[in-house]
Each structure stands twice: as C-alpha cells, then as structure tokens.
Structure 1
C-alpha cells in the first residue's frame, strides 16, 4: 500500500520540479535584465546549483539506479557525458559573466538552455519511473 505523502514526494517528480526551477532560473538569466555585475553574481549561483545537482546525480543517484536497473546503464553513462558538456558550458558562461562580458555570457547561456532542455527531457523520460519506484528514504538526493 502506498501512502499519499509518499506519492507526493516521489523522487522522479522532485527531479522534474528541480529541472523546471533550473530552466526558470536560466530564463531569468537570459532575459537581459541583469546588469553585468548582477549577471555575474546570478550566473555564479546558477552554475553552482546545477553543478551540485549533476554531481549528486553522478555520485549517488546514477550508481544506485545502475545497480538496480542494469538496462539503464547506457542511459546513465550518456547522461553523465552530458553533465561534462554542461559543466564546460557553465564554466564558460561563468567566466564570461565574471569578465563582465554580458553579451558573451548570454550567448553561452542560450546554448546551455538548448542543451539542458534536451538533457532534462531525456533524463525525465528515462528515469522518472525508476526513481519513483525507490522506497522512501532509500535515496535522499540534495536537489
């Protein structure tokens, strides 16, 4: 029997919510409303949050899912490769923003938005049901 609270807090759905918050924050960064110094500060916070999220997935979530669902190993490896590409783009955007190159940073963020949207959609399609099937307390990611 599944309790209602457990269904509301299923990890797969938390992942979707986290991804949506990241995309919303990225849209805010890209909208052009931040002056260069503010863009640098907001970009650093965004880059740190996404990096932390992907590190948590790579070190905690993906190994657990790979052990439980060997059929997902190729997907998980592909997602980890995406994380490396995203990391490079995050670094470049952060460096450009720190150099007060707002136009360059926004251009990098535009490319990042396309990659993250595709990455998040693929991840959600492939992993949400496996995450939702985990027992309560089995995995507590810091998303």
Structure 2
C-alpha cells in the first residue's frame, strides 16, 4: 500500500464510524424483524448485543484516549460518550434477559441519539487523523 492509499484509509475513520453505526442500526432492525416473526430472536439479540459491546469497547480503549490526547477540547464530550456506553451496557443486559419490543424500543432510541451525537462531533475529527495505527472502530471483527 503506498503512502497516499494509507493516508486515505486512515482519513476515512469518521466514515468507518458511520458505516459501523449503519450496520448496528441494521442489526436493530433485524432484531425487530425476528421479534415480529418469532424466529431466531435469541440469535439476533446476541448478535446485536455482542456487536454493540465490541464497538463500544474498541471506542473506549482505542479511539477516545487518542482523541482526548490530540483534542483536549473534546474531553468532556468523550466522557459523556463513555457514560452512554455504561448506560447502554445495562440496557443490553436487560435486552438479553428479556428480549421484548419495549426493551428494544428503549435501546434503539438511546443508541440512535448516541450515534447521531457521536457522528456530528467526531466524524470530521476522525477523518483528519494521520496514519499511526488501527483504531478498530468497526463492527464484528474490529474492522469496518
């Protein structure tokens, strides 16, 4: 990979974040479909919960510390996002315990608000990062 290709890959972190959120939103819709059909509810629930957890764990461990170091003005916002992650983790546990429309509605609303805020504040900042290592903000395998 030449230097321009590498720069383009790293400058696309904000776009990767949006792509990861899109896939998580699709997983929410898949779980709604499963609930409505009564098929594979547990599988879809575990898939969604695992993907959201991996995504937020990667952000907390890799993305947010890097952004806080390079952009101290984002520290309070990043702390708020970490608190969101804790709240969402509790919601995911409740969803796993009782996969109902009510639990999924609550999770879906909080996730959507969280994703929109994150995308508005961080996409440009992430796309401006210089190549210095993989942030791992994708869904599933740590890639987007």
Tell me whether the two structures share a fold, i.e. TM-score over 0.5.
Answer: yes
**Distance change in 2, residues 1:118/1:142 (3 Å):** closer
Aligned residue in 1 for 2:134: 139
Aligned length: 134
State the Cα deviation string for residues 42-89 of structure 1 (Å, max 9, x = none).
101110110011011011110010000000001100000000111111
What's the offset of the Cα at 1:130? 1.2
CA distance in 2, matches of 1:130, 1:108: 33
- The within-5 A match list for 1:67-82 is 67-82=69-84
1:42 to 32, 36, 44: 44
Aligned residue in 1 for 2:124: 129
Aligned residue in 1 for 2:94: 92
Q: TM-score, normalised by structure 2?
A: 0.84
> Unaligned regions of 5+ residues in structure 2, if any?
139-144
CA RMSD after TM alignment = 1.9
Q: TM-score, normalised by structure 1?
A: 0.85
**Distance change in 2, residues 1:34/1:8 (3 Å):** farther
CA distance in 2, matches of 1:117, 1:27: 12
State the Cα deviation string for residues 13-50 of structure 1 (Å, max 9, x = none).
000000011001101211334426x1112101110110
> Unaligned regions of 5+ residues in structure 1, if any?
98-104
